[in-house]
């Protein structure tokens, strides 16, 4: 009788230890899942920023276009065969901003087309001197096998 009682007590102790280990693992897993869920929610809220007002987007695009016009005006009357690094950076930044603003306007269905909204190719036609020098710089970089950004 004492052997069976000892065996029952030992089994109860083992069962209690197993239950406590299972509860600890459950608790730790639940904490990890809650932390992961919190991080995913933070990423979702960061991505889901509200769309900007179309006037704000158009102002940003106009400011970038103004920089291109000022570059074109500074190049008029000068016989140059290439742009400086700063001018290339300015042209590339303006191109990136104009293209992203156009994409945002199209995505939010605020694109009005000509004469209010110009595609990048139409903008580039309005700055022929700097656009041509930019094109030459891109072609030269491609011939060298470099990536032009």
Domain assignments of the chain as residue spans, ordered by start:
1-49, 54-144
pLDDT, tens digit, 9 for 90 and up, residues 48-67: 567 788 788 889 988 999 99
Q: Are 122 and 102 in contact (CB under 8 A)?
A: no
- Whole-model pTM: value is 0.60
Mean pLDDT of the chain: 84
Where is pLDDT greater, at 31 or 129? 31
For residue 21, name the pLDDT band (cuts at 50, 70, 90): very high
Supply the pLDDT for residue 135.
84
pLDDT, tens digit, 9 for 90 and up, residues 102-128: 888 888 887 777 777 788 788 888 888
Where is pLDDT greater, at 80 or 63? 63
């Amino acid at each position: 009788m004492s052997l069976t009682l000892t065996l029952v007590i030992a089994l109860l102790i083992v069962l209690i230890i197993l239950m406590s280990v299972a509860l600890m693992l459950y608790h730790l897993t639940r904490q990890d899942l809650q932390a992961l869920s919190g991080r995913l929610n933070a990423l979702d809220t960061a991505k889901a920023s509200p769309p900007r007002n179309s006037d704000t987007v158009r102002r940003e695009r106009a400011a970038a276009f103004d920089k291109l016009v000022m570059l074109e005006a500074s190049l008029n009357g000068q016989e140059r065969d290439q742009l400086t690094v700063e001018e290339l950076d300015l042209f590339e930044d303006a191109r990136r901003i104009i293209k992203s603003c156009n994409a945002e306007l199209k995505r939010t269905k605020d694109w009005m087309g000509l004469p209010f909204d110009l595609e990048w190719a139409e903008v580039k036609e309005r700055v022929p001197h700097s656009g041509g020098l930019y094109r030459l710089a891109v072609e030269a970089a491609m011939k060298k096998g470099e990536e032009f950004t």
